[in-house]
Amino acid sequence: MKNNKVYIIIIHYKGLEDTFSLLDNLLSLDYQDFQVILVNNNPEENLFGNLKSFIITRGWNLLTEQVEDNYITLSIDKFKYPVVLINQERNLGYAGGVNTGIRYTLKYNDFSYLWILNNDLILAPDSLRELINFAEKLKSEGKRVGIIGSKLLYYHSPQILQGVGGKYNKYFALTKHIGGFEEDKGQYDRENIEIDYVIGASMFVPKEFIEDVGLMDERYFLYFEDVDWSERARRKGYVITCCYKSKVYHKEGASIGSSSKGEKKSELADYYGIRNRIVFTKKFYPQYLFTVYLSLLGVILNRVKRRQFNRIKLVFEAIKDIPKEN
Sign (positive/negative) of CA torsion 259, 263, 266, 268? positive
Q: Are β-strands 239-250 and 145-154 bridged in parallel, bridged antiparallel, or unpaired? A: parallel
Percent of the chain clearing pLDDT 70 (strictly above): 95
Q: Give CA torsion, residues 137, 139, 141, 142, to 10 deg.
A: 180
Show me where the domains of the chain are located. 6-250, 267-321
pLDDT at residue 37, as a whole number: 98
Q: Which residues of 142-168 are buried (b: 16+ CB within 10 A; e: fewer)?
A: eeebbbbbbbbbbbeeeeebbbbbbeb
User: What is the Cα–Cα distance from 99 to 108, expressed in whole angstroms?
Assistant: 15
Cβ neighbours of residue 251 closer than 8 Å, sequence gap 6 or more: 18, 120, 121, 122, 155, 156
State how far the Cα of 209 lies from the Cα of 146, in Å rounded to an integer. 6
* Under 8 Å between Cβ of 181 and 160: yes
Do the beta carbons of residue 270 and residue 135 sit within 8 Å? no
Q: What confidence tens digit (pLDDT) does each residue in 29-78 have?
A: 999 999 999 999 998 889 999 999 999 999 999 999 999 888 999 999 99
6-250 carries CATH number 3.40.50.720: no
pLDDT at 264: 62
Instruction: With beta carbons less than 8 A apart as the criterion, state whether 147 and 229 touch.
Output: yes
Distance CA 3, CA 319 (A): 48
CA 256 to chain centre: 13
* CB neighbourhood size of 114 (10 A): 22
What are the residue ranges in the chain where pLDDT is below 70? 1-2, 253-264, 326
DSSP string for residues in 255-299: TTT--SSGGG--HHHHHHHHHHHHHHHHHH-GGGHHHHHHHHHHH
Amino acid 11: pLDDT: 96
Nearest to 269 by CA among 10, 8, 13: 13
Beta bridge partners of 157: 154
Q: Name the helix (H) or strand (E) containing 113.
A: strand 113-118
Output the pLDDT for position 162: 97
Q: Strands 121-123 and 174-177, how do they pair? A: unpaired
